[in-house]
């Protein structure tokens, strides 16, 4: 069975006019213009199988949304090719548009001044969904997301969490085979985030939907995605299992010790992250964990201890900071 999504050397370059300062600069610009090129995506390649749920990570401005817009046909790449369900996305064929959805967490697709039900009814007509199928699907989705009593409320009067749930119902209405999710939980409270995650997991498994998820909330990625693609400055630099991130990129581990009585000079073992009474948490390099544990246990003063991996948020932040520094060094 062919992959649902295939991107091959996708690139998107924007040319922006560089205006010179002052009146003289403006006059010169009438005859000779200088342009700068910005690579929003730089030879990005990957493939995603049918039913696979993939996290798409990167700092702001990394090129994530640009790639999703090219895969959904909203942008035409400068170079490279892509195939989504066997279609070239930017050809925007009607058959292709009936089989995918794009959810942008910071943009509304529903009509602001209409009740949610009327926007959904409009989508039913656009996608030519039979009335009985539409009623069954909407009933199932509103039940899962617990918004049955909000269908007749104006979209502008819904809370952010309720509006996001309605956006998801709209996205799943025509039962797409591919779903692109760009920050679907942004701004939501923890309860709404949890509900959205459970809905995405349940419906993805039920319909065998291929999904690409971008999110700055690592819990979204941890709970939903076994595979992660990382992108920065438009370039893909990691594509693998989420579990591999710690082994490949983590430099530290956290050691938690509780002593019978306070022990002096604890800082010699590593960076003290937290300290409370006779308990401390140390951040140490992974290769020194065994050595430091042996040294501390040899004091005979340890009541309890544990070893934990570095939080995934810290690892991701360090990865992107490292990429940023390497980019700056290459320009010097």
Query: What pLDDT was estimated at residue 229?
Result: 93
Three-state secondary structure of 24-61: HHHHHHHHCCEEEEEEEEEEEEEEECCCCEEEEECCCC
CB within 8 Å of 263: residues ≥ 6 apart: 278, 299, 301
Pick from 308, 306, 323: which is nearest to 249 by CA?
A: 323
Phi, psi of 54, rounded to the nearest 5 degrees: -120, 130
Q: Which helix (H) or strand (E) holds 69?
A: helix 64-71
- Please give the pLDDT value at position 86: 93
Using DSSP, state whether 241 is helix, strand or coil: strand
Reported as half-sphere exposure (CB side, CA atoms, 13 A), residue 245 has a value of 29
Q: Which pLDDT does position 196 carry in this prediction?
A: 87
The residue with tokens 């693998």 is: 240
What residue spans of 149-243 are helical by DSSP H?
160-172, 190-207, 218-224
Q: Where are the domains of the chain?
A: 5-246, 252-309
Q: What tokens were used for 250?
A: 């983590």
Nearest to 140 by CA among 175, 107, 114: 175
Predicted pLDDT at 179 = 94
Please give the pLDDT value at position 9: 95
pTM over 0.85? The answer is no
Averaged over successive runs of 10 residues, the pLDDT of the chain (332 residues) comes to 90 79 67 76 93 90 90 94 95 92 82 89 90 91 87 89 88 92 83 86 87 88 91 88 83 88 77 85 88 88 87 78 64 56
What local confidence, expressed as pLDDT, does residue 17 receive?
Answer: 65
Task: Give the separation between CA 264 and CA 234, rounded to whole angstroms.
Answer: 49
Q: How far is residue 171's CA from residue 102's CA, in Å, rounded to a whole number? A: 7
Three-state secondary structure call for residue 179: strand
Q: Are 201 and 228 in contact (CB under 8 A)?
A: no
Query: What is the rounded distance in angstroms from the CA atom of residue 160 to the CA atom of residue 171?
Result: 16
Q: Which fold has domain 252-309?
A: Alpha-Beta Plaits (3.30.70)
Candidate CATH numbers 3.10.180.10, 3.30.930.10, 3.40.50.300, 1.10.10.60; the one for domain 5-246: 3.40.50.300
Strand 210-214: give its sheet, edge to edge: 100-104, 178-182, 210-214, 53-57, 227-232, 235-241
């Amino acid at each position: 069975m062919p992959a649902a999504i295939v991107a091959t050397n996708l690139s998107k370059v924007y040319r922006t006019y560089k205006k010179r300062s002052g009146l003289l600069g403006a006059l010169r610009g009438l005859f000779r213009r200088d342009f700068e090129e910005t690579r929003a995506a730089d030879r990005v390649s990957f493939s995603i199988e049918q039913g696979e749920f993939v996290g798409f990570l990167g700092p702001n401005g990394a090129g994530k949304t640009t790639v999703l817009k090219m895969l959904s046909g909203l942008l035409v790449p400068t170079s490279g090719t892509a195939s989504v369900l066997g279609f070239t996305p930017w050809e925007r064929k009607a058959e292709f548009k009936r089989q995918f959805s794009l959810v942008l967490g910071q943009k509304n697709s529903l009509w602001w001044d209409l009740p949610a039900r009327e926007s959904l009814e409009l989508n039913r007509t656009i996608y030519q969904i039979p009335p009985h199928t539409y009623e069954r699907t909407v009933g199932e989705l509103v039940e899962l997301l617990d918004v049955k009593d909000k269908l007749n409320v104006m979209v502008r009067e819904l809370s952010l969490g309720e509006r996001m749930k309605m956006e998801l119902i709209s996205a799943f209405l025509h039962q797409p085979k591919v779903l692109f999710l760009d920050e679907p939980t942004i701004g939501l409270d923890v309860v709404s985030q949890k509900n959205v995650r459970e809905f995405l997991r349940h419906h993805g498994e039920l319909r065998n939907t291929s999904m690409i998820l971008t999110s700055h909330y690592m819990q979204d990625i941890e709970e939903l995605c076994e595979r992660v693609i990382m992108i920065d400055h438009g370039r893909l630099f990691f594509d693998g299992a989420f579990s591999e991130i710690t082994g490949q990129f983590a430099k530290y581990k956290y050691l938690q010790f509780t002593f019978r009585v306070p022990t002096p000079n604890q800082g010699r073992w590593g960076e003290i992250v937290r300290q409370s009474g006779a308990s401390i948490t140390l951040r140490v390099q992974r290769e020194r964990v065994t050595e430091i544990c042996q040294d501390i246990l040899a004091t005979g003063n340890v009541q309890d201890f544990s070893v934990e991996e570095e939080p995934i948020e810290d690892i991701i932040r360090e990865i992107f900071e490292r990429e940023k520094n390497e980019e700056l060094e290459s320009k010097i």
